[in-house]
Every structure is written in structure tokens, then in C-alpha cells.
């Protein structure tokens, strides 16, 4: 029971524009992080991840669109803009090396306890690990690598195969370890409607 509760909690849920150009501004944003403008307050511990990756309300640049999701891959942070100049910031795991996804997309689909199937590229890169799931995939459940919630990113009506999703490996948050998808804790899924714009740097 405790394992199932933990996995549900750790599930998630859910490209580059000039409005977020990495320039130092008078409000304090810097070239290394084009979104956040002030240090966040330290929240109380809630998840078994590094403290800096806890969900935290932070100040952001006021021109960012309310409701949008912005991911700064090199900092391992996802921002959900909740009001002008305000966002909830979450730690994420991102794609490793050349598998990092960058660009613009939108949430085209949301699924609770999603099934999972590796892409042909994943099977080709690591057949020993993924080939057994190539045909039938894996049904949703506590052992599924997408966790209890997933938001599917689309471009022009087509599935990109990139997900914002939960994880059975919370220690991966804050690292570049995935095949391109974005892993995080389950604290965003209910707040994000289908159609939400997503920008990944």
C-alpha cells in the first residue's frame, strides 16, 4: 500500500521564443536562467528528492503568459505560470545528451495510469532493455515508467512522443537521464488543461 501511494505521489501529472531571450534584466533574470527573477523561499520537505527541486512558488518575468509551461532543461526546472509574475517551479529529469527535447508544443492529451511503449528509436538504441516491450508495451500500473499521470506533448496535431510524466525513480529528478521525456512529481496534472502551451529550452 505504501509503495502504491508513493508511486501515485511521484507521478506527474502536464521552443524557443524571443520573449524569453536569455538577457540580464533590471528585474534580476540572468542569461543562465531566462525565467526566474528572484530566489525562491525554501518550502517544507514533501517528496524524497533534493530540496531545491521541491514544488515552490517563485517570482518570474511578468510578461510570461499565465497558464503556460516553461522548462529550462539545463537547470532541471519546469515553471507553470499561475499569475502575472508568479509561477510554481518544479524539478524535472530531462533527456540525456542529444536526446533533449527543445522547442514549442502543447498538451494534446492527459492520461491517468498511462500505458507505455518504447519508440522504435529507443528499441534500436537499447534492444536488450526495450525490445521485449516493442510489440505489446506495458500496461499502466505502479511499475510503469510513466508513473500514475502523463501529459502528452503535441505539435501541429501530431504526437511528439515526448511526455511530461511521473516517475518510479525520484532520484533521477535533477539529472539528464531520460530518452527525451520530462519526469517530475505528481503536483501539476490536475492544474493543466489540454491545449496548454509548453516551451522547452
Is pLDDT at 1 greater than 50 in this prediction? Answer: no
Angle at the Cα of 118 (from 116 to 120), degrees rounded to 5? Answer: 150
Name the CATH architecture for the domain at 2-38+47-200.
Beta Barrel (2.40)
Cell, residue 133: 516491450
Residue with cell 526546472: 77
Among residues 39, 80, 31, 63, the alpha carbon closest in space to that of 184 is found at 80
**If pLDDT is split at 50, 70 and 90, which confidence band does 39 have?**
low
**If pLDDT is split at 50, 70 and 90, which confidence band does 16 have?**
very low
**If pLDDT is split at 50, 70 and 90, which confidence band does 122 have?**
confident
Q: What is the pLDDT of residue 72?
A: 96
Domain residue spans of the chain: 2-38+47-200
Q: What is the pLDDT of residue 14?
A: 38
Q: Which is more confident, 15 or 86?
A: 86
Q: What is the pLDDT of residue 178?
A: 86
Segment 51-103, tens digit of pLDDT: 899 999 999 999 999 999 999 999 999 999 999 999 999 999 998 877 888 99
Q: What is the mean pLDDT of residues 175-200?
A: 92
Q: What is the mean pLDDT of residues 26-49?
A: 63
Segment 43-52, tens digit of pLDDT: 555 677 888 9
**Alpha-carbon distances, residue 183 vs 73, 95, 156 (angstroms):** 11, 9, 23
Kindly tell me the burial class for residue 24, based on how many C-beta atoms sit within 10 Å of its own C-beta (0-12, 13-18, 19 or more): exposed
Q: What is the pLDDT of residue 129?
A: 79
Q: What is the pLDDT of residue 99?
A: 81
Segment 130-184, tens digit of pLDDT: 888 888 888 888 889 899 999 999 999 999 999 999 998 888 999 998 888 999 9
Cell, residue 80: 507553470
Q: Write down the pTM of the prediction.
A: 0.75
Q: What is the mean pLDDT of residues 22-38?
A: 57
Task: Judge whether 34 and 24 are in contact, CB under 8 Å.
Answer: no
Residues annotated as catalytic are 165, 181
| Pairing, β 56-59 against β 69-72 | unpaired
Could you say which DSSP state residue 34 is in? S
Q: What is the pLDDT of residue 25?
A: 41
Amino acid at each position: 500500500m505504501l509503495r502504491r501511494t508513493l508511486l501515485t505521489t511521484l507521478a506527474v501529472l502536464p521552443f524557443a521564443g524571443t520573449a524569453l531571450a536569455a538577457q540580464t534584466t533590471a528585474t534580476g533574470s540572468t542569461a543562465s536562467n531566462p525565467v526566474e527573477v528572484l530566489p525562491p523561499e525554501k518550502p517544507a520537505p514533501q517528496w524524497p528528492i533534493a530540496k531545491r527541486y521541491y514544488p515552490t512558488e517563485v517570482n518570474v518575468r511578468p510578461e510570461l503568459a499565465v497558464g503556460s509551461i516553461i522548462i529550462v532543461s539545463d537547470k532541471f526546472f519546469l515553471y507553470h505560470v499561475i499569475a502575472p509574475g508568479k509561477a510554481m517551479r518544479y524539478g524535472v529529469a530531462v533527456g540525456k545528451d542529444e536526446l533533449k527535447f527543445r522547442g514549442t508544443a502543447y498538451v494534446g492529451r492527459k492520461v491517468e495510469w498511462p500505458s507505455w511503449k518504447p519508440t522504435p528509436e529507443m528499441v534500436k538504441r537499447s534492444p536488450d532493455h526495450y525490445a521485449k516491450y516493442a510489440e505489446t508495451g506495458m500496461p499502466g500500473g505502479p511499475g510503469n515508467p510513466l508513473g500514475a499521470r502523463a501529459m502528452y506533448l503535441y505539435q501541429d496535431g501530431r504526437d511528439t512522443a515526448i511526455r511530461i510524466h511521473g516517475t518510479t525513480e525520484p532520484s533521477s529528478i535533477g539529472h539528464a537521464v531520460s530518452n527525451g521525456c520530462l519526469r517530475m512529481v505528481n503536483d501539476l496534472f490536475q492544474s493543466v488543461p489540454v491545449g496548454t502551451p509548453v516551451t522547452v529550452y
